[in-house]
């Protein structure tokens, strides 16, 4: 067996491989279709980008899928092409997020979590969701993150992933500059907008100072089956090293602690959190059933 935790990791793996394959195919065959026909692929490519960041890239950070480190490192390089940035950068930012979990500004107005929804808010309130999502990509301090990654001894992996991104970029431009301009760039930008939207409502309404209520959760079964139990986000923050197939068990484990606090349980997936963004209920009041691990 090649799997470190579960063969079910082949599900997000298959999605990311399909994402890479369809992007190469679109670039290579761009000239065989009209511009309108090509643009019809944007929703699919955007969904794959969003799913990658939400499920595949995210889970891989915490529980690398393969027993062999060489396979893990190869996958990281390949998937860096999909998300348009080195996976090492994604990992670095995400682990900092887990360490400080959407913290509020200190006395100097600074936050430790670069993805905190409070970082650019006013008067101690979260930032507006629109500016958070659409400006988030431009606020990334890549050079500083690369410097810190290098200090951890992961510079060789970072260089490998940067090389993969660069070579893919050149390859796409050679195959079709129109593909790069009209599909790759819009998908890259809007994909990261969706990633920021997801993160926003995975934490909006949460209490950063309370580890049992600093995030939100969404317990609908279908969503958690299709998205590898990503709805158990509060549970995930409590035990980030637990494989996604076991996250539903954490809800039962922490039920007593959840019952002691008011926390956000969403009625819609986080990407649609704006439809019901302040549903604050206690755990014992929640009526939605636990999703079963697939």
pLDDT of residue 287 exceeding 70, the answer is: no
Mean pLDDT on 189-214: 96
CA dihedral 80, 81, 82, 88 (to 10 degrees): 10
Is the dihedral angle over the CA atoms 17, 18, 21, 27 positive or is it negative?
Answer: negative
Tell me how many degrees the CA angle 183-187-189 measures, rounded to the nearest 5. 125
Share of the chain above pLDDT 70, in %: 94
Q: Indicate yes or no: pTM above 0.85.
A: yes
Expressed in percent and rounded to 5, the helix, strand and coil fractions of the chain are 60, 5, 35
Q: Is the pLDDT of residue 280 over 50?
A: no
Residue 102 reports pLDDT greater than 90: yes
Which tens digits make up the pLDDT trace of 141-165? 999 999 999 999 899 999 999 999 9
What would the pLDDT profile of 226-253 be if each residue is shown by its tens digit?
999 999 999 999 999 999 999 999 999 9
């Amino acid at each position: 067996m090649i799997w470190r935790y579960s063969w079910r990791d082949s599900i997000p793996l298959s999605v990311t491989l399909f994402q890479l394959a369809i992007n190469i195919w679109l670039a290579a065959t761009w000239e065989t279709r009209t511009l309108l026909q090509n643009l019809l692929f944007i929703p699919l490519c955007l969904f794959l980008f969003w799913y990658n960041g939400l499920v595949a890239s995210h889970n891989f950070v915490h529980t690398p899928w393969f027993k062999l480190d060489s396979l893990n490192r190869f996958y990281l390089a390949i998937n860096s092409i999909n998300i348009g940035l080195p996976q090492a950068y994604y990992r670095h930012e995400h682990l900092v997020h887990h360490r400080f979990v959407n913290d509020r500004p200190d006395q100097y107005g600074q936050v430790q979590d670069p993805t905190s929804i409070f970082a650019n808010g006013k008067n101690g309130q979260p930032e507006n969701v629109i500016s958070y999502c659409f400006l988030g990509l431009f606020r990334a301090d890549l050079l500083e993150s690369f410097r810190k990654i290098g200090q951890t001894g992961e510079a060789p992996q970072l260089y490998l992933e940067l090389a993969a991104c660069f070579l893919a970029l050149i390859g796409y431009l050679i195959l079709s500059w129109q593909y790069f301009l009209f599909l790759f760039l819009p998908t890259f930008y809007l994909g990261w907008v969706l990633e920021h939207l997801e993160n926003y409502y995975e934490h909006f309404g949460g209490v950063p100072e309370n580890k049992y209520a600093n995030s939100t959760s969404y317990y609908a079964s279908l969503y958690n089956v299709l998205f590898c139990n990503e709805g158990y986000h509060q549970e995930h923050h409590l035990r980030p090293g637990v494989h996604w197939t076991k996250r539903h068990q954490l809800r039962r484990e922490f039920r007593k602690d959840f019952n002691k606090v008011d926390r956000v349980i969403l009625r819609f997936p986080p990407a649609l959190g704006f439809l019901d963004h302040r549903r604050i209920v206690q755990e014992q009041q929640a009526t939605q059933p636990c999703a079963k691990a697939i």
